[in-house]
Amino acid sequence: MKGQVFKIHSDFHYVKSADSADVFECKVREVLKKQKEKVLVGDFVQCADINNDRKTAVIEKILPRKNFLTRPSVANVEQAIIISSIKEPDLNFEQLNRYISFAKYYKIKTKLCFNKNDLSEDDSVIEKIFQIYEPLGFEIVFTSALEHFGIEDFVELLGSKITVICGNSGVGKSSLINSICPDLKIKTKEVSEKTSRGVHTTRHCEIIEIKHGRKPIKIIDTPGFSNLKFDFLMPNDVDEMFDEIKKYKSGCKFKDCLHIQEEGCNVLENIDEIDLSRYQSYLSFVQEAQEFKEKTKMQGTKKETSQKQTLNKNVAKISTKNREVSRSTFRQNIYKDLDV
Ligand code: GDP
Ligand code: ZN
């Protein structure tokens, strides 16, 4: 039998069979346990119905994963929807770019939802959103969970794909989900009450199916990518998360170009084609990656040249200055900061 794990509680893995939609309570075969790979929620697995009861089974094999996330630990996520609020809290573009980049890193298709539309007084933020994110190919919806505006558009974004919902606390993630399925509110509350009773009970994530219209909506019940930093990848890999920067990098003179100050940088050559706030986010993430690199170097795992160390300082200097400046002034300032 093949199926997908949708919930894990201690040793029990709940698997929905691919052919019959029956649910099996499964344990993991000892041989598989000894291997490094842990079975995750979302994993497609091969099971043996050892008792022949169509209720219990043993997981024998994890089938190849399309992707997997850590925090929450989940495999085969089909898409991410990033929720931001337009106001209260104000839209944070860097945070949005952070979520976008994480989803990109994990090779997960991403869609954008901007909530609390009822609080938006002027259209300039909305225009900015379209200006930046539409050319990058994102599907965008505006919602108000409070006024039940755009909820059907949000439902359409969800489709029947297994979706991880991302977004900072307070943007309205729970409110949006509850506006689709008010029953879920009770369920979520029950779960949290249950877990708060135990002392630090590990909270496992689960794929929740919500009946809505013809097809079920499938969401992962814990927010994705919360409080994550780019402290796991090399500075040179950050541009891979930005399509509009990546597009120009092959024209850079140096293969290890960070697109900050380097001679013959084709990204800087085309900087007018890149949105300033996106480029600023890029710089911040490069800085985080630099800090990570420094740390690994201190631990003695990496060796770097002194030239690169100078560059690290420069990156830190630019991105701590949170200036609202025109693109050309911004560029001039980069050069000034970098003393080129
Ligand atoms: P979460 O932390 O992302 O799950 O956010 P919540 O769903 O808990 O919402 C945080 C706060 O924002 C709550 O007080 C909600 O009532 C409020 N809220 C959620 N959606 C909207 C909205 O569309 N408009 C307004 N004005 N408030 C909202
Ligand atoms: Zn470059």
Output the domain CATH number for residue 8. 2.40.50.140
> Which pTM does this prediction carry?
0.83
The CA 247 to ligand 2 mean position distance, Å, reads 11
Q: What is the pLDDT of residues 244-263, one digit of tens each?
A: 999 999 999 999 999 999 99
Terminus-to-terminus CA distance in the chain, angstroms?
Answer: 64
* 117-121 mean pLDDT: 91
* Contact partners, residue 201, CB within 8 Å, separation at least 6: 195
Residue 230 lies in a domain: no
Distance CA 215, CA 218 (A): 9
Same domain, 248 and 158: no
83 and 205, same domain (yes or no):
yes
- Two structure tokens written together for 196: 């708060």
Q: Ligand 1, atom 14: nearest CA belongs to which residue?
A: 170
In total, how many domains does the chain have?
A: 4
CB 195 within 8 A of CB 203: yes
274-280 own/partner pairs: CB under 8 Å, 24+ apart: 274/244, 274/245, 275/131, 275/132, 275/244, 276/327, 276/330, 277/93, 277/94, 277/97, 277/132, 278/93, 278/97, 278/132, 278/242, 278/244, 279/245, 280/94, 280/319
- CA 54, 60, 64, 69 torsion: positive or negative? positive
- CATH number where 241 lies: 1.10.40.50
The answer on 325 and 264 residing in a single domain is no
Q: Are the beta carbons of 333 and 323 closer than 8 angstroms?
A: yes
Give pLDDT, residue 61. Answer: 95
Ligand 2 center to 334 CA (angstroms): 14
pLDDT in tens, 186-196: 444 444 444 44
Do 40 and 139 share a domain, yes or no? no
More confidently predicted of 250 and 181: 250
Assigned domain for 306 exists: no
For ligand 1, the distance from its centroid to the CA atom of residue 284, given in whole angstroms, is: 28
Domain extent at residue 277: 235-299
The answer as to whether 133 is a domain residue is yes
Query: Would the CB of 170 count as within 6 Å of ligand 1?
Result: yes
Same domain assignment for residues 175 and 108: yes
pLDDT score recorded for residue 307: 37
Residue 308 lies inside a defined structural domain of this protein: no
One domain for residues 38 and 57: yes
Q: Are residues 117 and 36 in the same domain?
A: no
Query: Do residues 52 and 139 both lie within one domain?
Result: no
Question: Ligand 1 pocket test: which of 82, 173, 175 has the largest number of ligand atoms within 8 Å of its C-beta?
Answer: 175
Q: Are 78 and 213 part of one and the same domain?
A: yes
251 and 196 share a domain?
A: no
SS3 assignment, position 29: coil
Q: Rounded mean pLDDT of 16-23?
A: 90
- pLDDT on residue 35: 86
Separation between Cα atoms, residue 133 and residue 126, nearest integer Å: 11
What percent of the chain is modeled with pLDDT above 70? 82
- Return the ligand 1 atom nearest residue 178 CA: 7
What is the rounded average pLDDT of the residues 297-314?
Answer: 48
Task: Please check whether residue 307 lies inside any domain of the structure.
Answer: no
Are 41 and 206 within 8 A, CB to CB? yes
User: Which ligand is in closest contact with the Cα of 223?
Assistant: 1
Average pLDDT over the chain, rounded to whole? 84
The CA dihedral of 124, 127, 129, 130, to the nearest 10 degrees, is 180
> Is 228 a domain residue?
no
On whether both 84 and 208 belong to a single domain, the answer is yes
241 and 268, same domain (yes or no): yes
